[in-house]
Structure formats: C-alpha cells, structure tokens
Amino acid sequence: MDTSRLILIMAIIIWLILYAIRDSINLKTYGGIFGILRTKFGLKTIEKLGRYKIWQKIGIISIPICVILGFIMLFNIITMSLKLLSGTLPKEAAKPVVFLFGDVIPWIPGVIALLIAISVHELAHGIFARSFGIKVKSSGILLLLGLPLGAFVELGDEFKNAEKKIRGAIASAGPLANLLIFLIAIPLLSFSYTLPTELKIIDVKEPASEFLQKGDIIYEINGKKINSLEDFNEFAKTIEPNKEYEIKVLRDNKLLSYKIVSSNEGRIGVMISPDKNTALLINTIYWTYWSNFLLALFNLLPAIPLDGFHVWNAFPELLKERKNKFIVKIGEILELIINERTLSSITLLVWWILLGSIVYSMW
C-alpha cells in the first residue's frame, strides 16, 4: 500500500473517532467530512503582543507587496496547470502536500515545520487584529476527513464591518509572518550545513561501488578532513571528469584509503547522510523554509476564503487615499477591476484550477 492511501485511511479512522466525540471536544462538522475544532490556545499571547500599534503600520505597508506576490502566484498556478495538462509537468508536482508525507517529506521534520508555519500564520492574524481593536474570539484547526487543512483565529464581528484597508492589513499579517520565518530559515539552513557531523554513505554506485560500501563514514578526501556537509559539498563542486581522488573512510573502526577515478560526468558515485540528530535538525529547518514560503504565497491568491481576497480588495482603496492625484486615479481604475464581485469570479477560477489539477494528478 502506498503512503498516500495509508495517510487517507489513517485520517478517516481519526475522523471517525473525532466525529463520535464531537460534542465533548467542541468540534463543529459540515457535510460529514469538514470540521472546525475551536480552542483558546494562544489567545493570551495574542492579547499581549496586540497592544502595540506598530503592527497597524506594518500591515498597511505590506498590502501592495502582498498583491504583487499574489499576482505572481496566480500566474504560476495558471501556467503550471497548463503544463500539467500538456504533459510537460509531471503529475506528482500537483499532488497536495499532505500526500507527500513519508515519500518526499520526512514525517517528524515535516509535521514540525507545518505546525510552525500554521501557528505563526494564525498568531500574526490575531496580533494584527488586536492592534486594530478587533476581538479574537477563538483559535482552532480546519479538518477534512481528519486531515488538517490549516489553522485559524476566529475574529469578532468588528472585522466584517472594518474598512477594507484594515481587513487587508490583518489578512496580510499571516503571509507576512510566514515570509519572515522563510527569510530567517535561509541563514539557519546554511549554518546547519556547517555543524560537525559524521557523514555515512547510504548509497553507492559506479565508480565508487568497487571500493566503498554502505555504512562507510567519509573521513578524508585528498588530504582534507571532512567534518560537515559543507565540507563534502565544497568537494563535490570541484569534482572533474576522469580525475583520481583519494578518499579515506572509516569501516569497522579501521581507516581505509582508496583512489577512485571520477566518471565521465564528473561523479564519484556516493550518497551520504549526516548523523540522525543533525539530519533531523537540517530537515526541520529545510521544510520550515519551504512550508512557510508556500503557505505565504498560497494564501495570497485572490480567492475566498484565503487572505489574498481581503488584501486584493483593499489595494484600490489604499491607492485612493494617497495625496498624489495620479496614484488616486490608478486606484479608481483598479477599483473597477478589483472588487468583491470580480474577486468572487476569480475565486471560482482559482479553486477549479487547483481542484482540477489535484484530481488529474491522482488519476
């Protein structure tokens, strides 16, 4: 049984258990397959941090940035769906992220990364809402047959009646927070590659297969001690075709030395992995990097109920408030193109593209 089907079966079992005890855990279900699980988790933190008015300015400034990123994302999903249908893009590229767990995304680092991304996203929404004086009623998780679709903070009725730019600023907070974590993860990922660790060979092919074995630990290459992934990657960049390299490995507590000639393509033929703790750390940072990046861009699509709907809807009003007459005119023109009516139509387009791509990828 493949991982995708196993995940689906496990999710259905979890969903049946949750459904049976839904009243006692405050789980609201819709259509028998969707669920909203409300909690009070994180509300005290939101209340404390939401006191600062600086979040208001950051939210307003971020609206045009988020619109640009959302447009880029919209363009990408349209072009990717066309490539998928034409066969130039593999079906696996359109699979939902949850079905990549186990095969592509390691379970523990993947789950940790996803929790970080979702928690930061929703926490930011709550903080920005409180800075504008809007009440946060609850937090929670969105479920589909036991699979977590995302998290949420439930805002008070004041949000619906707030100005468009305020709604846009609050909506931009989640993607903005994810992009911040994404940027922080970049130097952290680079640093993690410099950490001292044993590098064990986990797969070996020609030309190294004649000399090296799985389980060997890379000790030294051409007289240079290999102490980290960065050391090995630096060596890999310098490999030339048909050139001899002296590689020393530890095997059964013995130091062995081999002279290996690289292939015509400039390869040695080994795949290595750091020790378990270092691998867990690197994978967690790596998937935190990607999950925050993807969650931010996905949520900036101009579609209900994503953040991008409110962000795009606020953009024309934001331009109309400027003192420059030319910018005000642009805002008035954009308001004819970008409004709740047109965004509702775009919503149908976005979700049909995404749903169609997912179904096609799993056919």
Same domain? For 264 and 291 the reply is: no
**How remote is the C-alpha of 8 from its chain's centroid?**
21
Whose tokens are 């059964």? That residue is 252
Same domain? For 123 and 225 the reply is: no
Same domain? For 53 and 167 the reply is: yes
CA-to-CA dists, residue 303 to 73, 185, 215, angstroms: 12, 28, 50
Residue type, 152: F
Q: Is residue 319 a part of any domain in this protein?
A: no
Give residue 249's pLDDT: 93
Q: Which domain holds residue 254?
A: 200-273
Q: How far apart are CA 66 and CA 63, in angstroms?
A: 5
Residues whose CB is less than 8 angstroms from the CB of residue 354 and which lie 6 or more positions away in sequence, other chains included: 77
**How remote is the C-alpha of 184 from its chain's centroid?**
14
Q: How far apart are CA 177 and CA 350, in angstroms?
A: 23
Give the bridge partners for 13, in sequence order: none
Look up the CATH number of the domain holding residue 209: 2.30.42.60
Same domain? For 146 and 285 the reply is: yes
Q: Is residue 108 a part of any domain in this protein?
A: yes
Same domain? For 97 and 175 the reply is: yes
Q: Is residue 329 a part of any domain in this protein?
A: no
Give residue 196's pLDDT: 93
Q: Is residue 32 a part of any domain in this protein?
A: yes
DSSP 319-353: HHTSS-HHHHHHHHHHHHHSSHHHHHHHHHHHHHH
Give the bridge partners for 361, in sequence order: none
Give residue 29's pLDDT: 81
Q: Which residues of 117-149 are buried (b: 16+ CB within 10 A; e: fewer)?
A: bbebbbbbbbbbbbbbebebebbbbbbebbbbe
Whose tokens are 């960049």? That residue is 237
Give residue 101's pLDDT: 62
Same domain? For 26 and 132 the reply is: yes
**E strands within 40-186?**
136-144, 147-155
Q: Which two tokens stand for residue 336?
A: 């004819």
> Could you list the mean pLDDT of each consecutive 10-residue stretch along the chain, which spans 363 residues?
66 84 80 78 85 92 93 88 77 62 73 87 91 86 72 81 91 94 96 93 90 92 93 91 93 92 90 91 94 91 88 88 84 84 86 76 66
Residue ending a domain, choose from 273, 292, 310: 273
Give the bridge partners for 34, in sequence order: 30, 144
Q: Give this prediction's pTM.
A: 0.81
Q: If you ran DSSP here, which 8-state letter would residue 220 be given?
A: E
Same domain? For 175 and 205 the reply is: no
Same domain? For 91 and 216 the reply is: no
Same domain? For 19 and 56 the reply is: yes
CB 297 within 8 A of CB 126: no
Total structural domains within the chain = 2
Q: Is residue 308 a part of any domain in this protein?
A: no
**E strands within the chain?**
27-30, 34-39, 136-144, 147-155, 200-204, 217-221, 224-225, 244-251, 254-261, 270-273
Nearest to 141 by CA among 122, 160, 116, 125: 122
Same domain? For 35 and 145 the reply is: yes
Nearest to 67 by CA among 290, 295, 318: 318
Same domain? For 17 and 166 the reply is: yes
Q: Is residue 328 a part of any domain in this protein?
A: no
Q: Is residue 188 a part of any domain in this protein?
A: yes
Q: Is residue 337 a part of any domain in this protein?
A: no
Same domain? For 224 and 79 the reply is: no
